[in-house]
Chains A and B, each alone.
Chain A
Amino acid sequence: MTDSAAVANSAMAETGNSHHGEHPPYQRHHFETVDQQFDATNFAMWLFLLTEVMFFGGLFTAYLIMRNWYYQAFVAGSHQLSIVWGTANTAVLIASSFTMAMSVWSAEMRRKKSLLVYLCLTLVFGLVFLGIKGIEWHEKWEKHHVPGVHFSVESFVNPQSDPAVYNEYHDAPLAPDMAQKTEEYFFLYFAMTGMHALHMVIGIGILVFMIFRARSGAFTNGHVTFVENFGLYWHFVDIIWIYLFALLYLISRH
């Protein structure tokens, strides 16, 4: 078919919209108004976060049941986590949430430079978080606490063999069968922090993409939906971490 026919036909279809005046370029063709577009995408983001809650909900359920069954193993396992690194990471993520909120604000205020600065800061905080997480994971690797890969219960049947942790908590040795269950703890630890880190990696990927777009002024022209929705995602990932921090690091401390 010819293009002219298409144009002729779609011209008729456009008449319905013409009395709304000119559309901003970022309005997708199937929305009637910018407000509708914003409402819809924003609502979609909240729904997506709801699915994420259900997703992590499955992990939390498994964690709580296993913790209830193997309480001592989970306490001993959590003593292996460094509260310093954990707190540092929490601080980093909260800071990144703040810079993300500032990015949204900058986009709304149409301040391109500050938007770029805040996005870059968020990116840096995100990378720092992953870096610290990497250090923690590496430490687990060194201590043979990675489940499935020559996992060792030495630190739990014989706590003195791990002086750094022992001097802090003076854990009694676990019976061998309970010590085995620490692998369960680390399985869930890696599954949960791994899932969270995967979300961070995806977030960082999108951040890089946004920084490139922002350099050409994409989000400072009044169309802030993308930044705002990404902000929601980022805050959500942050909140998940707060829960992980509490469950994995904190609740077993006395």
Chain B
Amino acid sequence: MSAATIISLPDQSTARIPKVNFLTKENGLLSWLLTTDHKRIATLYLISITFFFFIGGALAGLIRLELLTPQTTLMAADTYNKVFTMHGVIMVFFFLVPSVPATIGNFLIPMMIGAKDLALPRINLLSWYLYMIAGCMAIYTMAAGGVDTGWTFTTPLSTHYLNTHVISTGLAIFVAGFSSIFTGLNFIVTIHKMRAPGMTWFRLPLFVWSNYAASILMVLGTPVLAITLVLVVLERTMHIGVFDPTYGGDPILFQHLFWFYSHPAVYIMILPGMGVISEVVSTFSRKRVFGYTAVAFSSVAIAIFGFFVWAHHMFIMGISNYAALVFSLLTMLVAVPSAIKIFNWAFTLYKGSITFETPMLYAFGFMGLFTIGGLTGVFLGTTGTDIHLTETYFVVAHFHFVMVGGMLMAFLSGIHFWWPKWTGRMYPEKISQLAAVVTYIGFNFTFFPQFILGMLGMPRRYAAYPPEFQALNVFSTAGATILGVGYLLPMLYLTWSLKYGEIAGDNPWQATGLEWQTQSPPLTENFAEIPIVDHEAYDYEWLEKQTAARQQQEVA
């Protein structure tokens, strides 16, 4: 982008990355493994979740290849079942749930509120270790032969009828759950107690609000999943339990307990992504977010309503018609805050001064795809259409539009946006814009045909399918290859930029957040001096004054 850009980099001939920063403060493996610095832990998380993302992505590739033909050509049905189960487990519990909060959130929240670290740095490290232990257990499970319950662990299938590694998977998710609980707990405490002087609740960046909302869900929802999995494991080992009707249990109880976590879990995944979009849209339109309070409260509203909609996963399971009615109504209510956010972001552009760097392109991608994902969610929340569409590829497409089209776009947007802050160097702009466009095209090719497949009635989790579904599946697989390229590109050029990227300087985007008012990469203590906040978030006039004052100082 030659003309229209807000990138303002320091003079490359003289600029240097600050000698002292959180990356260089100490050296050696131990200094990383025993670190309590939230930025280092975020870096560890970033590396590990990228690793798991590519494992999950490879499994997704296998799924799409298998579905190229109607028969089971590439692998047997039970292998396919293991592949999609591990894809689900890894992507949900080891990528989506920790993605934005544990990496970008971990890196930014203390800086955004003007603190030196999270309130409980050692707990933060512990949560990374728990994540890694859980990850190793998941990888062990795969190596030992895998598991084929589906990521939903439906009882009594998971407790009684399978002889794969359900227990190690269950325990892996249990441990990963505690990692997530500790992250959420840490964020809530930090946001409550560690704000810099003058940083009132309504001066917080919206990224902090949305992570706060997600943290509430993590703290209250995850323990229920944990105990549910414990009960599943006990039922498997003792051959008695509360979920299998042959022992006198109630399989519907499992559904209630599981979805009590797993529905809020999708908000755990998407809310932090929404926070990223708020930051990016504001920065690249040089304008405060339209209706700050509405966006902030809509995050909290999603978190609260999100707890009372779980049974919309059970409309066809034989819950009473009136229960279905209530949960459908509540589902409609939870859709509204998302709509508010979309329109508020769109109107943030109004009378802005917009530029189209990579993070903004990803953010546009998010807004388009999330709108589709959200609206198709209403199809599934409406009882009448849910009967036909649930458990088909319509659900798969909806979920991936929200999670991959929404969350992953937001994640990539955030990674590009804060990359200069994190590493001190810019990523290459042109190729990354290309990657954003490739991702967008590949994504639509992959997942849009699946809506039609779902309407046609193609059930999910099928290794083989009737031949009339093939054409659309071929489209989907073709799109997936494009999508794969779209994800490999950032991996390559971001690694390249670690050494060869341009020096970014403190604030390449001229953004207003406190994290941009310190050096890049930041000091271990984040700030040379704890800032005193006297302005609202996204106050670009304040930023101009600051810049002017600094220039004057330099002249003087």
A residues lining the B interface (CB < 8 Å): 1, 5-6, 9-10, 12-13, 15-17, 28-32, 36, 39-41, 43-44, 47-48, 50-52, 54-59, 61-62, 65-66, 69-70, 147-149, 151, 180-181, 183-184, 187-188, 191, 195
When the two chains form the complex, which single residue of A40, A55, A148 contacts B238, counting CB atoms closer than 8 Å? A148
Some 12 contacts from A to B, beta carbons below 8 A apart, are: A30-B119, A31-B194, A44-B119, A50-B219, A51-B219, A51-B220, A57-B223, A59-B227, A66-B249, A183-B240, A187-B234, A187-B238
Say whether B250 faces chain A, with CB atoms less than 8 Å apart: yes
Contact (Cβ within 8 A) B19 A43: no
With A13-B527, A15-B529, A30-B115: A58-B192 Cβ-Cβ less than 8 Å: no
When the two chains form the complex, which single residue of B110, B185, B241 contacts A187, counting CB atoms closer than 8 Å? B241
Chain B, residue nearest A186 (CB):
B240
Given A29-B117, A40-B190, A51-B222, 13 more A-B residue pairs with CB atoms under 8 Å apart are A12-B528, A15-B529, A30-B117, A32-B530, A40-B120, A48-B185, A52-B223, A55-B226, A57-B223, A62-B253, A65-B242, A66-B249, A184-B242
Contact (Cβ within 8 A) B19 A1: yes
Measured CA separation A168–B523 after assembly (Å): 71
Query: CB-CB contacts of B525-536 with A at 8 A, as 1s and 0s?
Result: 101111000000
Contact (Cβ within 8 A) B220 A61: no
Query: CB-CB contacts of B493-534 with A at 8 A, as 1s and 0s?
Result: 000000000000000000000000000000111011110000
When the two chains form the complex, which single residue of B223, B239, B247 contacts A55, counting CB atoms closer than 8 Å? B223
With A36-B194, A44-B120: A58-B257 Cβ-Cβ less than 8 Å: yes
A226 to chain B, nearest CB (A): 12
Measured CA separation A203–B223 after assembly (Å): 19
Contact (Cβ within 8 A) A57 B528: no
B residues lining the A interface (CB < 8 Å): 19-20, 24-25, 27, 110, 115-121, 123, 181, 185-186, 188-190, 192-194, 219-224, 226-228, 230-231, 234, 237-242, 247-250, 253, 257, 523-525, 527-530
B243 to chain A, nearest CB (A): 9
Contact (Cβ within 8 A) B227 A56: yes
Contact (Cβ within 8 A) B240 A148: yes
When the two chains form the complex, which single residue of A6, A17, A39, A183 contacts B247, counting CB atoms closer than 8 Å? A183
Measured CA separation A149–B237 after assembly (Å): 10
With A32-B530, A36-B193, A40-B193: A151-B240 Cβ-Cβ less than 8 Å: yes
B188 surroundings in chain A (CB, below 8 A): 47
| Chain A binding surface SS class | helix
Measured CA separation A44–B220 after assembly (Å): 13
Contact (Cβ within 8 A) A6 B25: yes
Contact (Cβ within 8 A) B120 A58: no
Contact (Cβ within 8 A) B226 A184: no
Contact (Cβ within 8 A) B194 A184: no
Contact (Cβ within 8 A) A9 B20: yes
When the two chains form the complex, which single residue of A10, A48, A62, A180 contacts B248, counting CB atoms closer than 8 Å? A180
Measured CA separation A5–B21 after assembly (Å): 11
Measured CA separation A147–B241 after assembly (Å): 9
Measured CA separation A147–B228 after assembly (Å): 18
B368 to chain A, nearest CB (A): 36
Measured CA separation A16–B518 after assembly (Å): 15
Contact (Cβ within 8 A) A47 B189: yes
Chain B, residue nearest A16 (CB):
B529
A182 to chain B, nearest CB (A): 10
B24 to chain A, nearest CB (A): 5
Chain B, residue nearest A48 (CB):
B185
With A16-B530, A30-B116, A50-B220: A65-B253 Cβ-Cβ less than 8 Å: yes
B530 surroundings in chain A (CB, below 8 A): 16-17, 32
Contact (Cβ within 8 A) A51 B185: yes
Q: Give the residue among B110, B119, B527 with the most A Cβ atoms within 10 A.
A: B119
A60 to chain B, nearest CB (A): 10
Chain B, residue nearest A17 (CB):
B530
Contact (Cβ within 8 A) B192 A54: no
Contact (Cβ within 8 A) A1 B237: no
Measured CA separation A41–B186 after assembly (Å): 10
Contact (Cβ within 8 A) A13 B523: yes
A225 to chain B, nearest CB (A): 12
Chain A, residue nearest B234 (CB):
A191
Q: Give the residue among A17, A40, A180, A188 with the most B Cβ atoms within 10 A.
A: A40
A184 surroundings in chain B (CB, below 8 A): 240, 242, 247-249
A61 surroundings in chain B (CB, below 8 A): 253, 257
Chain A, residue nearest B37 (CB):
A30
Contact (Cβ within 8 A) A187 B222: no
B237 surroundings in chain A (CB, below 8 A): 148
B110 to chain A, nearest CB (A): 8
Contact (Cβ within 8 A) B186 A58: no
Measured CA separation A9–B123 after assembly (Å): 27
Measured CA separation A18–B207 after assembly (Å): 31
Measured CA separation A10–B27 after assembly (Å): 17
Q: Identify the 5 closest CB pairs spanning chains A and B, nearest first.
A: A148-B238, A58-B227, A30-B117, A55-B223, A30-B116
Chain B, residue nearest A2 (CB):
B19
B121 surroundings in chain A (CB, below 8 A): 28, 30
When the two chains form the complex, which single residue of A32, A41, A50, A65 contacts B250, counting CB atoms closer than 8 Å? A65
Contact (Cβ within 8 A) B181 A51: yes
B226 surroundings in chain A (CB, below 8 A): 55
Contact (Cβ within 8 A) B529 A70: no
Contact (Cβ within 8 A) A1 B20: yes
Measured CA separation A47–B218 after assembly (Å): 11
B185 surroundings in chain A (CB, below 8 A): 44, 47-48, 51
Chain A, residue nearest B256 (CB):
A61
Measured CA separation A43–B247 after assembly (Å): 42
Measured CA separation A148–B120 after assembly (Å): 41
Chain A, residue nearest B178 (CB):
A51
With A12-B528, A16-B529: A62-B224 Cβ-Cβ less than 8 Å: no
A230 to chain B, nearest CB (A): 15
A148 to chain B, nearest CB (A): 3
B194 surroundings in chain A (CB, below 8 A): 30-31, 36, 40
B253 surroundings in chain A (CB, below 8 A): 61-62, 65
A31 surroundings in chain B (CB, below 8 A): 194
Measured CA separation A104–B188 after assembly (Å): 26
Chain B, residue nearest A62 (CB):
B242
With A43-B192, A65-B253: A13-B228 Cβ-Cβ less than 8 Å: no
Contact (Cβ within 8 A) B242 A66: yes
B247 surroundings in chain A (CB, below 8 A): 183-184
Measured CA separation A15–B230 after assembly (Å): 50
A55 surroundings in chain B (CB, below 8 A): 223-224, 226-227
Contact (Cβ within 8 A) A188 B19: no
Measured CA separation A65–B243 after assembly (Å): 11
Contact (Cβ within 8 A) B224 A54: yes
Contact (Cβ within 8 A) A188 B20: no
B117 surroundings in chain A (CB, below 8 A): 29-30
Contact (Cβ within 8 A) B242 A187: yes
Contact (Cβ within 8 A) B220 A54: yes
Chain A, residue nearest B235 (CB):
A187
